[in-house]
Structure formats: structure tokens, C-alpha cells
Homo-oligomer: A and B are copies of this chain.
Amino acid sequence: MSLGDFSVSDHGITFAKGYRASGLSCGIKRSLRPDLALVVSSLPASAAGLFTTNRVRAAPVDLCEERLREHPSEARGFVVVSGVANALTGPDGLEDSREVIALTERGLGVPEGSVYHAATGVIGPRIPVEKIASHLNGAVASLGADRAASTRAATAILTTDTRTKEAAVSVRLADGTRVRISGMAKGSGMIAPSVGPPHATTLAFLTLDARVTPVGLQRLLAREADRTFNMISVDGDTSTNDTVLAFANGASGGALADDDPALARGVGYVLEHLARSVARDGEGATKLLTVNVHGADDLEEARQAAKAVARSLLVKTALFGADPNVGRIACALGYSGANFDTGDLEVQLVDGHRSWPLIVRGTPAPGLDNGQGHRLHGVLQRLDEVVLDVRLGQGPARATAWGCDLSYGYVQINAQYRT
């Protein structure tokens, strides 16, 4: 897809110039699915990151923050482990992660302090450093810049995900330079929007070949993640390991692009694409839910209202049952904290170019209890993305949140005793 100077690629994390990736199994997952991913930049890169607000933080999160403080413009790569979170592991866990990073830095022959680290999986167990150590040479040897290498890395960071999540675009900057932005993410459960300052949810990694300072990259990442990753919810549980990490290695050349709106647009596109992919692949999900709120008094209330609907268990189960249960939508808006008069409330179901009224001036649309309700039941059954347009009143603010339905599959995935 090309939109003027904005081209979307089906490539993954190595679309940006100067990056290579690999992914393989080192035996952490008993299923022997891939569980070790490595991404490397051929040039020192500016780095930026957003991390969980959970007070119980995984060791890799602490080490990423340490690196960002000390070496924000010398990033050379990151190593991701899936299967164990390395959270709730105390000082031993911190030592384990330091060892994984040191092994990676030595394996790549890059300076100390230049490799970042993330993990995802079961909370509690320690990370098996020996398994990682014995497979790091293989991960380094199999690094590649092609599409298949991207996919191997994107596969190796998954846990309960059912599919890889990748995105890539190229954009032309104000000075004519064409830069590439690529990304991959994982996330299926333990996913919630935050109520605090901008921060990451789930794992997402961005590679840019633009020239950006660490400070500019951090600002850009925070702003765009707040509008995308902070607006998705699967189960309302904010993880101990949430990490959004971005590298910009300048391989495209050109002028410093910190404030280039085209770059912001590209980063925003990649983050939104990845965030939607995470919501769509929520544990057990059969439908993506997009909630657009308009007419709120301010941005914060628009965000609260959209999130409340997207995370309501009663809305999510109704969606799974294809039930046009407008009362549950109104109820969630009512407790969201957003200010509105019930009599002003308008809600529509949007299906491509058609839209169906659900709530009109604060009461259910006519016929929802009988014929029209059955028609909408059929529409909801058919859609795999359900879009709700909510108008709270005449205020200037709008926001979008993403979620998914709640199915038997969610209970099954999370209730199984880990034998």
C-alpha cells in the first residue's frame, strides 16, 4: 500500500536498514517452540523505552532502564526470552539477566552496556541461563536481514499468541530522506491500559533507520504509545514485564529528524498496527472491538470512556454472544468517570460504510427488543471487527480504544493448571 510518501511493507523488524534478526528454540518452552530472539543494529543506535508501571517489575525491565540512563545513544541490540518472565525472582533474577546480557554482548562483540533485554512468560521461575548460553552462538550465526529472519524473531517472542505481529512502513521526511520504521510485538494476556503516565503494555520493539536523538525518540515513542498501546485491553491486568523499546540507528542518513511530522506519522502507524494486532489476538478472542468516543469534555474523559467500554466484561461477553446489548455499553460509559448527560448519549454500530443506531438520545434504538435486535445479532455474528461510535455530548475531545470479546477460550487458556 502506498499513500503518497507513506508506503506500507509486509516486512517485519529488519525492514529498517542496518538491522538483522534471528529466532530459535533454546529449550525454555517444553513445546520446543522458538523462545530466544535476537535483533542487532550494525551501527550504534539511539534508544528509547517505556516500561510497566507495576511495582513488581521483572529484572529485564530494571536493566533496560539502567542502560537507557547510562548509554542511550550506543544501543546495538536486544535479546528477548519467552517462556519465563524473570519476575518475582529477587537478586538472583537480576544476576541471571545481567549474565544473559553479558553473554549476548560478548557473542556479538559489541561494547558493554549496548544490549537490551526483555522477557515474557511465567512469573516466578528463574531464567535458565545455561540453555540460553548454549544457543547464543547459534542465534548470532543465524542473524539475517531478510523477511524470514524477521519472522523467526517475531515468532520467538510469542507466548499464548496465536500469530506473529509485525509492521513496517517507509516515509519521506521533510529533507527528502526516505526512512524506514519496522516493528514487532507480542501480547495476548495480562494486557491492560494504564491509568498513570504514558508507559508500555506488553512487548513491542521498533527499529528505525532515521537519525533521531535519544531524547527525541523517547518523546515520540511516549506520545504515540499513549494513543495506541495504552489504549488496548485484553483482561485488565497490567503485566510485570511490559516493555516498548525503540532503536534509531541513522542508517538512512539525512538530517536529524526529531521533529519531523512524517516520522511521527510512521511511528504512529507501526505502533497502532501492532497494538490492534495484540488486541485482536487477545487470549481466546474471536473479534476485535474498536470503540471511538467523540464529543467528550476533554481528552482524558474521552480516553476513560473508550477504555471502560473496551474492557467491560459484560460488553466483552455480549460481543462474544453477538448480543446487541446496548444497556451494557451505556452502563460502562456511566461508570467510566466521563461526564455526560444520559439524554445526550448516541451510540452506533459501524459496519464498513453502513451504520446502525444502538442508542438514540439516551434510550435504546427502536426495535432493538425484537426484529432489529435479531438483524443486529446477525451482523455481529458476521463481523470479525466490531466498531462502536459513541457520542457523549458536544465536547471537543475524542479517543479510540481497542479490545476483544471474552470467550470460553479465555477461561480455558488461563484456568489450566500448569502441569
Point out residues on A near B: beta carbons under 8 Å: 53-57, 85, 87-90, 122-125, 189-190, 192, 235-240, 312-314, 317-318, 320-323, 325-328, 330-335, 338-340, 342-343, 345, 359, 361-364, 368-369, 373, 377, 406-408, 410-412, 414-418
In the complex, are the beta carbons of B335 and A54 less than 8 A apart? yes
In the complex, are the beta carbons of B408 and A88 less than 8 A apart? no
Known: A124-B364, A335-B237. A342 touches B411 (CB 8 A): no
The 10 tightest CB contacts between A and B, nearest first, are: A123-B327, A56-B334, A321-B415, A317-B414, A54-B334, A238-B335, A124-B364, A235-B313, A55-B334, A320-B415
Known: A54-B335, A334-B54, A411-B411. A416 touches B327 (CB 8 A): no
Residues in chain B near residue A85, CB distance under 8 A: 327
- From B331, B340, B411, contact of A406 by CB (8 A): B411
A312 to B189, CA, bound (A): 12
Task: Show 15 residue pairs from A and B whose CB-CB distance is below 8 angstroms, ordered by the A residue.
Answer: A53-B335, A55-B339, A56-B342, A57-B342, A88-B363, A123-B326, A123-B328, A123-B331, A190-B331, A237-B314, A237-B331, A313-B410, A321-B417, A407-B411, A411-B411
In the complex, are the beta carbons of B411 and A320 less than 8 A apart? yes
In the complex, are the beta carbons of B407 and A363 less than 8 A apart? no
In the complex, are the beta carbons of A322 and B190 less than 8 A apart? no
In the complex, are the beta carbons of B340 and A55 less than 8 A apart? yes
Known: A313-B235, A335-B237, A411-B411. A124 touches B327 (CB 8 A): yes
Residues in chain B near residue A90, CB distance under 8 A: 342-343, 361-363
In the complex, are the beta carbons of B414 and A314 less than 8 A apart? yes
